[in-house]
Amino acid sequence: STSLQPYGSRVGNFAKNAAARNILETMERKQSNLCVSVDVTKKKDLLDIVDAVGEAVIMVKTHIDIVEDFDMDLVVQLTALAKKHDFVIFEDRKFADIGNTVSLQYAAGVHKIASWSDITNAHLVPGTGIIDGLAKVGEPLGRGLLLLAEMSSKGTLAAGEYTRANVEAAYNNESGFVMGFIAMGRVDDKYAPADKPKRDFLVLTPGVGLDVTGDAMGQQYRTPDEVIYKSGCDVIIVGRGIYGALTKESDDTARQAAVESVRKQGNRYREAGWEAYLKRINH
């Protein structure tokens, strides 16, 4: 399995995808496999969280449509932070429509996702035309796409033959635009098509927490060790476990303390993720 190779040695496996190469190189440079998911509704909170954890992460994941005071200045500031701290941006848009519609949703509208997000993701529910629609916009910009082969939530229908279909669609994508999966394990190994040469893909995994096992709405958490070491995934995605302290309005002193706590949690998850990775490649 390619997951037993060091991140840096896999760069050459992604000759056709600049975003994937950049992610692997950033992981080596920063000794981190941590993506922070910043699911907050205020621009200032988003930017403060990202600035606090920027040093520890290789990727910042957004749900840009939940930001109430979104404007293009947020994009300017977020991309400036990406330069300052050396991370890539992942808009977790979960596209799920016909090719023509997703190409418009990706390129246009209020958010113009393709213009600033290095990678994004899609459900394969509509069929492979969704990959063609997103590739038309994203490929010329050097972007990458992840397919949602599995999900972390209780009762997910993304399993079994549906997961296999995602892996097959990725293997059939000749251009290299599809660079990986959202999945809970090494689906690219488990469902590798027998009639094709093995290819490398990145596996990014949400549902990661060190302190709790779930939430009230079906989220399920596993530890960085379970995800990176035991399941062979490449990137841990952590949301509330990192930014949780900064969700309530508070005075300046309390806010400063909350930002410091966010920074601390970022370092804690970076260390846990990297330790699990070292254990994996040295096993």
Q: Strand locations in the chain, DSSP E? A: 34-37, 59-62, 88-95, 119-122, 144-148, 178-182, 202-205, 235-238
Question: Amino acid letter at 20?
Answer: A
- Considering only residues 99, 176, 180, 207, which one is a binding residue for ligand 5FU as defined by CB under 6 A? 207
> Which residue in 157, 165, 152, 65 sits closest to 124, CA to CA?
165
Under rule CB under 6 A, residue 152 binds ligand 5FU: yes
3-state percent helix, strand, coil for the chain, nearest multiple of 5: 50, 15, 35
Rg, the chain, Cα only = 18
Q: How far is the CB of 207 from ligand 5FU (least distance, A)?
A: 5
Q: Is 256 assigned a ligand-binding role in the annotation?
A: no
Nearer to ligand 5FU, 16 or 63 (CB): 63
Under rule CB under 6 A, residue 99 binds ligand 5FU: no
Under rule CB under 6 A, residue 202 binds ligand 5FU: no
Q: Is 61 assigned a ligand-binding role in the annotation?
A: yes
Within 13 A of 279's CA, how many CA atoms are on the CB side? 16
Under rule CB under 6 A, residue 206 binds ligand 5FU: yes
Q: Is 65 a catalytic residue?
A: no
Backbone dihedral angles phi then psi of residue 203, each to the nearest 5 degrees: -115, 115
Q: Is 219 assigned a ligand-binding role in the annotation?
A: yes
- Considering only residues 47, 59, 151, 167, which one is a binding residue for ligand 5FU as defined by CB under 6 A? 151
Under rule CB under 6 A, residue 148 binds ligand 5FU: yes
Q: Which of 94, 112, 136, 264 is catalytic?
A: 94
